Structure 1
Amino acid sequence: MRGAKAYAKVGVESGILAASPYQRIVMLFDSYQAAIRMARLHMQAGDMAGKGKAITKAVNIVSRGLRGSLDKERGGEVAANLDQLYDTVVRLLLRASLNNDEQALDVAASLLENIGSAWRQIGPQVEGEVGDGAGAGD
């Protein structure tokens, strides 16, 4: 079993390395939503350790991945607004974790689902333009 997990991890890491900046941002949004779903399941099952691990993963995706990819100098107002939104989402996630608050999870999921959906809709036609400052840096 350990070998299969290691093989799968290498496959995922290879996919991330081969992905364009646009694709990496979409992967972050998808991974974020998956972490929220896992946190909700663990919360409902009373598995506090699993809930904490899933919420920590979601927080890291937002703070290190999405927020970390913002180019605040070139992104202007859009990047500043996204930075504030990401801060709000992290606060919601922390509240959800501390208070076992499913509603806070729902709000955190929906806030970023709209942006993730927009990224998926703009499609590969903008892959060469992603480094505009509002989204991912190269």
Structure 2
Amino acid sequence: MAYASPLLRDPARTYREIDLAGRTAAADGPALVQLLYEELTQALRVAAWAADHKQFATRSERVTRATAILFALEANLDFEKGGDVSRILARFYTGCRKQVIEASLGTEGARFRAVAAELEEIAGAWRQARAA
């Protein structure tokens, strides 16, 4: 029995992954952080939709994606240059991860949307800082 790769079975997913790979390859540090915030909030919004619609496999996939992005954001904080800001962000990312994991144990999307909203505030501040 031949098995098709998941990418071949889901052309839309393949396109999204190729698009993301292209955008991350061209992104510098600040642009990459912005892209990670966008991907993170999108993952949380899809997890919320999936929870509301009992699409548990999709919810699980998006929770995994969101927590991986949160780990990546935290792992790349520069505590020497960032000082207090880096420490505050580290605590924030840890708290967000905890909220995402707790939300994944439930069956409603509201908690995912709440975390996404918090992250969108940070992403907005990040955009403004980059534009200045």
Q: Name the TM-score class by shorter chain.
A: 0.7 to 0.9
- The structure showing larger relative contact order (alpha-carbon pairs under 8 Å, at least 6 residues apart) is 1
Among 97, 100, 111, the alignment partner of 2:104 is 97
Aligned residues of 1:36 and 1:58 also touching (Cα < 8 A)? yes
Compared CA separation, residues 14 and 42, structure 1 to 2 (3 A): same
Quick one: distance in 2 between partners of 1:46 and 1:8?
23
Once the two structures are aligned, what percentage of the paired residues are identical?
25
Distance apart, 1:58 and its partner CA:
0.7
Per the normalisation by structure 2, the TM-score is 0.82
Contact 1:22-1:124 within 8 A present in 2 as well? no
The aligned counterpart of 2:61 is 53
Count of aligned pairs: 124
**2:77 matched residue in structure 1:** 70
Q: Deviations over 1:38-74 (max 9, x none)?
A: 101111111111111111111111112x112101222
Structure 2: gaps spanning 5 or more residues: 1-6
User: In the alignment, residue 118 of structure 1 is paired with which amino acid?
Assistant: A
Whose helix fraction is larger, Structure 1's or Structure 2's?
A: 1
CA spacing shift, 1:6–1:98, aligned 2, 3 Å = closer
RMSD: 2.2
Q: Secondary structure at the match of 1:70?
A: coil
Matched with 2:40 is: 32
CA distance in 1, matches of 2:99, 2:22: 32
Tell me the TM-score normalised to structure 1 length.
0.79
Letter in structure 2 aligned against 1:117: G
Tell me what 2:90 maps to.
83
* Contact persistence 1:95–1:101 (CA under 8 A): no
AA aligned opposite 1:105: F
